[in-house]
Amino acid sequence: MDTQPTFLPEHFINRELSWLEFNARVLEEAQDPTNPLLERVKFLAIFSSNLDEFFMVRVAGLREQAFGGVAAQDISADGLLSLQQLLKITERTRQLVDEQYQCLNEAILPALSQEGVSVLKVEDLDKNQLKTINTFFRQRAFPILTPMAIDPSHPSPRFHNRGLYLVALLHRASGLGPLDLFAVVQLPQVLPRFVSVGQPGEHKYVMLEDILAAKLPEMFGGYHIAHHALFRITRDMDLDQLEQGADDMLRALEARLRDRQRSEAVRLEVQSGMGRDLLSMLLSEENVHEKFDVEGETYSEVYHVDGMLDMTSLWELVNISGKETLREPSFVSRQPLGMRAKDDIFAEIADHDLLLHHPFDSFDPVAHFIQRAAEDPSVLAIKQTLYRTSGNSPIVQSLIQAAENGKHVTALVELKARFDEANNITWARQMEHAGVHVVYGFMDLKTHCKLAMVVRQEGKKVRRYVHLGTGNYNPSTARLYTDLGLFTANKLMADDATALFNFLTGYSQGYEWKKLHVAPQGLHSNTLRLIHEQTERAQQGKKSRIFAKLNSLVDRETIEALYLASQAGVPIDLVVRGICCLRPGLPGISENIQVRSIVDRFLEHSRIFVFGAGSKKQVFLSSADWMPRNFERRVEVMFPVEAPELRRRICDQIIPIYLKDNIKARLLTSDGTYARVTPPNDEEKHRSQQEQLSLTNGVKSKSTTSEASGYNGQALDTSSAKKKETRKAR
């Protein structure tokens, strides 16, 4: 049921600013001295990687609207025009970047040095260390480097997106060529950013750019290096929808990927102290706004940073050997609950539905499911969607093996999975070569649902086994992201899965879904209907409740439906990791809504939805967030969890643990800021991810860090205890 648009702009939080606050929470983890040191380094790298993608996609889109001659700019739900959003984004980004460099320079690097991990300057090296970098330069770096002068006969190169470059102003008194010129040297990605100069067992490093800067006179012989600096350009890397007329999506996407490297710059990062002549040269080469006056405010796309550019390179330090005590303790994923080791997986699924909660439950059964299907002579066909896969995917290898074994194998590969397009193209070609029927989905829709189906001959009957998930078929990220997956042999679910694959491969439509809710064919309307049902129950004085755990909440209609539910008295608990445009706690509008975000060791990625209370509650998992793109521009699936024991596990164990987190949880306040939940000294501490790790086969195990919380069946209630917790957080 559609909700009436009765709410004002001030009732919504700006999407882009909300995302920046999510990245601020990532930065908080880097600033938190209670986290292991190399985990803090990891969060600095993640912060930078997140910010890069934000500029390449979101800022690029706003910039195109603001400066690209778009006649009618989109107005966000909170009433801001594109240029106004850019101004606020710039202001907040500069604050966060300043905090990031303060954290690196004043906290992280000194702490690393105390732990025996030192980043040295060239001028501080001893004789043996200087010999080491000289050998490194001559034998490894110099053969790769391409020093480039910039003059009329040597035009400026096209600087690569997120590439690191040394730029220098050169001068000479006489000889061939101009007396003064600019020159650039790209830092090759094939070389380490942190070059080791320590003895075996030592962790002493020099930055690659410092070595190359010291060697500029050798690279440009005969010239005096007047001054030099490092810079980095971020470009618009979003892929528009492919043209409907393209007769080969694979080739069309490959052409679009090549175009990316020629796209416009959206951000220029330079080392603090870069000379005006060098900066002016870069500004003249790229259409970057250094100063753009807007209503008395200045918009600038140039960022002067005090420290190393591109902190994503810090991953090299995160993964150094011999410093395990500076990381979170390693863990072993448990055998999934209800799954008997070494049993026939098909017989097990036929016997009962199985729920997997990654990374706490091993991802191995999912890979084994496809591998076993590839080997089993009774399996007739395998159908699977692939959105993102790992570099050496066992899933893909099993699909190839299945095709080579003569089975009918269909893989729906989403080529437009952002920033994984090239990887997916590689695997798509390999599978096609092996005989897999590879389908690339739709030109104007991304296939984002996570679905696999195995068709098996069992006597005179054919049975279908289905896996549905909230995350990708990627064993690597399955150890880093929290996701849920369901195995089932339910006939109605299998009927829907068959129809969905027919829709993806042959545009088959008109099917009436029995169990699945599919976007763009009704997921949005069904979500609104489920929310409205709870609103009606509350209005009738009946028990009602809504719980949702998701990555992002942006869709205006859904937010307004939640506001109406809150006004009717529905208790609503939301766990939203990232963007949340809903304002909780507004008097008369959202007083019954509480929003929390959990940022911890694993990326919270699962989507869980519960509508109703007691025996009336409906439990769903989904690949989709509550965003317009998920409802309208992607093929998504929300699927029910119906087995009583699995529903109890979700509602009585998983959800309560998240709601009791008072270590890594932050509560969203009505002004759009987040406050970390801080328990008093006499209150038991709960860290949700640690407690999920401490669960072994459903039994709470002893843990020195925390213990799994008990649950009395009322975790979704808006109780006095919860209101007390909210007051403490604020």
pLDDT for res 239: 56
Token readout for 348 is 């097990």
Ranges of H-type helices in 568-607 = none
483, 468 contact by CB (below 8 A): no
Q: Alpha carbon of 67 to those of 87, 260, 262, 512: distances in Å?
A: 13, 19, 18, 45
> Per the residue annotation, which of 203, 289, 448, 605 is the catalytic one?
448
Q: Please tell me whether residues 100 and 198 are part of one structural domain.
A: yes
pLDDT for res 131: 97
Is 597 inside a domain boundary?
yes
Q: Please tell me whether residues 503 and 417 are part of one structural domain.
A: yes
The model's pTM: 0.89
Residues belonging to the chain:
730
pLDDT for res 272: 92
Amino acid at site 382: I
Q: Is the dihedral of CA 659, 661, 666, 667 positive or negative?
A: positive
pLDDT for res 711: 23
Is 6 inside a domain boundary?
no
* CA–CA dist 25, 361 (Å, integer): 26
357 is catalytic: no
Strands 117-120 and 203-207, how do they pair?
Answer: parallel
Q: Please tell me whether residues 267 and 372 are part of one structural domain.
A: no
Long-range pairs for 676-683 at CB < 8 Å and ≥24 separation?
676/28, 676/729, 677/596, 677/725, 677/728, 677/729, 678/728, 678/729, 679/728, 680/728
Token readout for 569 is 């008295």
Q: Please tell me whether residues 525 and 508 are part of one structural domain.
A: no
Q: Which of 290, 126, 308, 72 is nearest to 213 (CA)?
A: 308
Burial (CB < 10 A; 0-12, 13-18, 19+), residue 546, is buried
- For residue 502, list its beta bridge partners: none
**Three-state DSSP class for 686?**
coil
- Looking at residue 484, which CATH number applies to its domain? 3.30.870.10
Token readout for 130 is 């200087």
Q: Which DSSP symbol is given to 159?
A: P
Is 15 inside a domain boundary?
no
pLDDT for res 222: 83
Q: Please tell me whether residues 275 and 370 are part of one structural domain.
A: no
**Three-state DSSP class for 259?**
helix
Which of 269, 294, 326 represents a domain boundary (last residue)? 326
Q: What is the mean pLDDT of each run of 10 residues along the chain (730 residues)?
A: 70 97 98 97 98 94 78 75 92 97 98 97 96 97 92 71 94 71 93 95 96 95 91 83 45 51 84 92 87 79 95 95 93 82 84 96 95 97 86 87 96 72 75 91 87 97 98 93 98 98 88 96 97 98 97 98 98 98 97 98 98 94 97 96 97 97 97 92 92 69 31 32 38
pLDDT for res 413: 87
Is 7 inside a domain boundary?
no
Is 340 inside a domain boundary?
no
Q: Please tell me whether residues 322 and 349 are part of one structural domain.
A: no
Q: Please tell me whether residues 661 and 679 are part of one structural domain.
A: yes
415, 387 contact by CB (below 8 A): no
> What is the number of structural domains in the chain?
3
Q: Please tell me whether residues 89 and 211 are part of one structural domain.
A: yes
Is 331 inside a domain boundary?
no
Determine which helix (DSSP H) or strand (DSSP E) holds 37, and give its type and residue range.
Answer: helix 37-54
Is 336 inside a domain boundary?
no
Which of 515, 538, 556 represents a domain boundary (last residue)? 515
Q: Please tell me whether residues 360 and 308 are part of one structural domain.
A: no
* CA–CA dist 93, 90 (Å, integer): 5
Is 13 inside a domain boundary?
no
- Looking at residue 106, which CATH number applies to its domain? 3.30.1840.10
Q: Please tell me whether residues 421 and 532 are part of one structural domain.
A: no
| Residue-number span of the structural domain to which 417 is assigned | 345-515
* CA–CA dist 109, 118 (Å, integer): 8
Q: Please tell me whether residues 51 and 143 are part of one structural domain.
A: yes
Which of 461, 487, 515 represents a domain boundary (last residue)? 515
Q: Please tell me whether residues 510 and 541 are part of one structural domain.
A: no
